[in-house]
Amino acid sequence: LQCSKCPKLFTSVKLKNLHEKTYEPKTLTCENCGKYSTNSVSNLTKHRNVTCVQNKQPLHFCGRCGEKFGTTKGLNDHHFNCIDKIKQS
């Protein structure tokens, strides 16, 4: 199955349709930075919470050192290093 917009080939209609959506105009833009656009609400939410440099309110804070994180995973990963640093002090 070939993309209707480019020569790329796919093994399923689902993959082809997913790829073809990348050609659609982006309808959602990050209101914080204005630089990120997508058609997916979940991708926009992830961008706002994790990667947007303009986001001044991270969702998670380390109770040990005060460092801020956009995701629980980022905070959990940090805890291992933070514990090691505290033990070395």
How many other C-beta atoms are found inside a 10 Å radius of the C-beta of residue 48?
Answer: 19
Which positions ≥6 away from 70 have C-beta within 8 Å?
A: 49, 50, 51, 55, 58, 59, 60
What's the pLDDT score for residue 26?
94
Domain edges within the chain: 25-57, 58-89
Task: Output the pLDDT for position 27.
Answer: 95
pTM above 0.75, yes or no: no
Stretches in the chain below the pLDDT threshold 50: none
